[in-house]
Amino acid sequence: MSESPASTPEPGGEQPPQDPAYTAAVIDLLGAIAYGELTAFERLAEDAKLAPTLEDKVAIGSMAAAEFGHLELLITRLRELGGDPYAAMDAFRVGFDDFHAHTRPADWYEGLIKAYVGEGIAADFYREIAAYLDPATRDLIISSLEDAGQSAFVVDRVRAGIAQDHRLGGRLALWGRRLMGEALTQAQRVAAERDALTALLAGGVDRPGLDLAALGRMFTRLTENHAQRMADLGLDA
Amino acid sequence: MSESPASTPEPGGEQPPQDPAYTAAVIDLLGAIAYGELTAFERLAEDAKLAPTLEDKVAIGSMAAAEFGHLELLITRLRELGGDPYAAMDAFRVGFDDFHAHTRPADWYEGLIKAYVGEGIAADFYREIAAYLDPATRDLIISSLEDAGQSAFVVDRVRAGIAQDHRLGGRLALWGRRLMGEALTQAQRVAAERDALTALLAGGVDRPGLDLAALGRMFTRLTENHAQRMADLGLDA
């Protein structure tokens, strides 16, 4: 479904973790992913309350628990890198909290779309960045983005919902666009604030980075993947 | 800390899972434990919002995720026994939901106490019952009650809180008593409603059960363990 960043012209980096600036940037990035997983866990647990059946509730709860499992791996790695996991996460608190405050699902379906679309955008973005990192960090990030069948569950439920009520499709399509807009707004703000992260993306003398053209291509891939996910749900992007 | 039911005169049963009445009772019991784990997951995720620090939030989230992991094992086992996991859980919905509706924590500390004391009472009770079941079911139940260091976390936080504000101790002691009272009220109601479960406890021609005297001893152990947990927190039972 999503184009692999590995197929892009920008090669994966092999930076030694000894470089303090590089380590600081990785700690920053893992902190962002970790705080994102924590908020995703909280949001999913909240959405579980809206589940129409016990089975649906367990399915959403299982997504929440999976996010938490990833979070625990990230915290362990942050400690290994000599970082304070909670300080690293705290730096991204405002951005993620604002995103969630601006995108509170009004019902079960909006919660499902948010879980699916939000996870998808975040996963695409982190995978793109991971391509520039050392293999150990890259593998950790990729494995923390694993989908344990949750997408299939969401697609099934949303398609069934739209089949029963066609007006739902229009509302959810708008909702998907709003989620994408809010995600971009917050990502831009975080990028502007976090120097270590942007330096990581820009590259250095001894390692490749993203120039403006590459950044443009990455952006194109993110929006294309989002459109594909919306199409999988039976929605206009 | 808690007296093991294995040291009581009532021996563990070795009922073959082929007995339909026995299987129905086990499905009932696992359904109760499973629904309890699901609601514990939901409550802990809710309590995580009250956490004063990110570290505390992650600690509570980790307890929630652990409950969910147990739930998944129980659902698998319910399917193996030929039961409908969601129907089995649904039978206990009212009892657990009422318990939670009557015991909403007003703050972070009440949430901690509820997690610790509620878990403790439930775990003691299920362990007592597990002693009368076939080894496979017993092992599943025991492992679903594992404490992954959560108790130590709660005891540490509550003791630190009381050290800072002595009035907190009095309020939390009252809260602990209320939790125990509500738990007993709901357990009694469930026992009165679920014939298969009470038949299981009463035993049969070919397997030992609890007579009134044994039930009394079990009750004594439950309240003693509760008092011990309150003492561990530095609270009067």
pLDDT digits (tens, 9 = 90+) for B21-70: 889 989 999 999 999 999 999 999 999 989 999 999 999 999 999 889 99
- Between A and B, how many CB-CB pairs are < 8 A? 67
Question: Given CB atoms, is A54 within the 8 Å cutoff of chain B?
Answer: yes
Tokens 């009463």 locate to B202
Q: Is residue A2 over pLDDT 80?
A: no
Backbone angles phi, psi at A204, to 5 degrees: -150, -175
Out of A46, A53, A58, closest to residue B38 by CB: A58
- Identify the pLDDT of residue A17: 53
Considering only CA atoms, which of B64, B204, B220 is closest in space to residue B128?
B220
Q: How many CA atoms lie within 13 A of B93 on its CB side?
A: 10
Report ipTM for this prediction. Answer: 0.80
Those residues whose C-beta lies under 8 Å from the C-beta of residue B144, and which sit 6 or more positions away, are B33, B37, B70, B73, B74, B126
Interface test with A, best of B42, B50, B90 (most A CBs within 10 A): B42
Return mean pLDDT, chain B. Answer: 86
Give the rounded distance of the alpha carbon of A199 from its chain centre: 20
B39's tokens: 């609601």
Give the rounded distance of the alpha carbon of A58 from its chain centre: 22
A118's tokens: 């939000």
* One-letter amino acid for residue A155 of the chain: V
Measured torsion, CA atoms of residues B162, B165, B166, B170, in degrees rounded to the nearest 10: -70
Q: Which residue of A has its CA nearest to B58?
A: A38
Quote the CA–CA distance of B48 and B64 in Å, as a whole number: 9
Q: What is the three-state SS of chain A?
A: CCCCHHHCCCCCCCCCCCCHHHHHHHHHHHHHHHHHHHHHHHHHHHHHCCCCCHHHHHHHHHHHHHHHHHHHHHHHHHHHCCCCHHHHHHCCHHHHHHHHHHCCCCCHHHHHHHHHHHHHHHHHHHHHHHCCCCHHHHHHHHHHCCCCCHHHHHHHHHHHHHHHCCHHHHHHHHHHHHHHHHHHHHHHHHHHHCHHHHHHHHCECCECCCCHHHHHHHHHHHHHHHHHHHHHCCCCC
Domains annotated on chain A, with CATH: 18-232 (1.20.1260.10)
Question: Given CB atoms, is B89 within the 8 Å cutoff of chain A?
Answer: yes
pLDDT digits (tens, 9 = 90+) for A124-169: 888 888 888 889 999 999 988 877 678 889 999 999 999 999 899 9
Question: Given CB atoms, is A59 within the 8 Å cutoff of chain B?
Answer: no
DSSP of B77-94: HHHHTT--HHHHHHTTHH
Out of B46, B68, B90, closest to residue A62 by CB: B68
- Identify the pLDDT of residue B197: 76
Least trusted range by pLDDT, from A74-88, A90-104, B71-85, B116-130: B116-130
* One-letter amino acid for residue B12 of the chain: G
Out of B46, B61, B72, closest to residue A38 by CB: B61
pLDDT (average), residues A45-53: 92
Q: Which residue of B has its CA nearest to A35?
A: B54
Quote the CA–CA distance of B193 and A99 in Å, as a whole number: 46
Tokens 């294995």 locate to B6
Return mean pLDDT, chain A. Answer: 86
Residues of chain B with pLDDT under 50: 1-16
- Identify the pLDDT of residue A212: 76
Q: Is B95 helix (H, G, I), strand (E, B) or coil?
A: helix
Those residues whose C-beta lies under 8 Å from the C-beta of residue A204, and which sit 6 or more positions away, are none
* One-letter amino acid for residue B56 of the chain: D
How far A66 CA sits from the closest chain B CA (Å)?
A: 8
Q: Between B21 and A45, name the one with better pLDDT.
A: A45
Q: Which residue of A has its CA nearest to B67?
A: A65
